[in-house]
Amino acid sequence: MANPTRKIVCFSDFDGTIFMQDTGHVLFDNLGCGEKRRQMLDEQIKSGERSFREVSEEMWGSLRVPFEDGFEVMQKELEIDQGFKEFHQFCIDNGIIFNVISAGLKPILRKVLDAFLGQDESSQIGIVANDAQIKPDGSEWKPIWRHETELGHDKALSVKEGRAQAEELSDENEVPLIVFIGDGVSDLAAAREADVLFARKGLRLEEYCIEHNIPYIGFDSFTDVKKEVEKIMKEDQEKTGGVGKPARFNPRANMWRRVSSKQAVPKFVAATPSKEEKMFLWPENFSQYQPKPVLENMAS
């Protein structure tokens, strides 16, 4: 298939989407606070008792092993989606920009991709995630948060930034197509910014889409995603010729969060029963995280 006229940008979650397991859970359960404590901390996030950021810092802080030791455990336990490598090669062949977007730590994600895909292929994947400070002896694993919010990484903002960058690279009359691929609660904010949304079947993101009548495409593996993206590319070329808005353009992407009116919380968000889901969807209104003030040194 020839390169598409329209610029296409794919954003994909990492844990539970590209890889079937959660990298953080593998580390915490085996080398950190342990599975029981980790599950207890997860419940504190869901109940709203503590913020995602605060709990995450405790989880990462429980690790006391060198990075390479942690990676050995991940390499043994992680399983990549069986169709991912073929899908990513498809993206490369068709000029589709592919980015990982994650609430995890960038050094870990890059190391895992290097190991499973090889450094050459891995280098063609952008990673939009939190950074990390990991001491060589493993005595400290400290997240360096991407954004000063309760979530640490505002995925919706990152997708918007990616859209803006794609628009700069597009022709004058071309609107880029944004694709998001995910599986869970932490993907809700980014999912609303996409023109085309893929949700792994049977997991929370798909359930949420069904509950709130949000258009999505279910998938079992990236083999399914590849087939659907091929159809979408063909449809777009036939209907628009790559000019103007995509055939699958999502006008709601800029309606779900109105920056100019933070009080205008959509009804489907206000009706969401889970504190965790409200926080991920609309952190401006439902966050309990308050950044600590920076006090300037004052001369006595």
What is the C-alpha separation between 55 and 285, in angstroms, rounded? 20
Q: Active site includes 15? A: yes
In the chain, domain spans: 8-286
Instruction: Report the pLDDT value the prediction gives residue 272, as an integer from 0 to 100.
Output: 52
At the topology level, CATH places domain 8-286 in: Rossmann fold (3.40.50)
Active-site option among 13, 29, 195, 236: 13
Instruction: Report the pLDDT value the prediction gives residue 146, as an integer from 0 to 100.
Output: 96
Instruction: Report the pLDDT value the prediction gives residue 281, as an integer from 0 to 100.
Output: 58
Bridge-based pairing state of the strands 126-134 and 217-219: unpaired
Instruction: Report the pLDDT value the prediction gives residue 5, as an integer from 0 to 100.
Output: 74
Instruction: Report the pLDDT value the prediction gives residue 130, as an integer from 0 to 100.
Output: 98
How many other C-beta atoms can be found within 10 angstroms of the C-beta atom of residue 256?
Answer: 19
Instruction: Report the pLDDT value the prediction gives residue 259, as an integer from 0 to 100.
Output: 38
16: left (phi over 0), alpha (psi -120 to 50) or beta: left
Instruction: Report the pLDDT value the prediction gives residue 298, as an integer from 0 to 100.
Output: 37
Instruction: Report the pLDDT value the prediction gives residue 108, as an integer from 0 to 100.
Output: 98
What is the C-alpha separation between 112 and 184, in angstroms, rounded? 20
Strand order in the sheet with 196-200: 141-144, 126-134, 97-105, 8-12, 177-182, 196-200, 217-219
Give backbone dihedrals phi and psi of 7, rounded to 5 degrees, phi first: -75, 125
pLDDT along the chain (300 residues), means of 10: 74 98 98 98 92 96 98 98 98 97 97 98 98 97 94 92 91 91 89 94 94 93 99 96 92 52 47 55 50 42
Q: Active site includes 13? A: yes
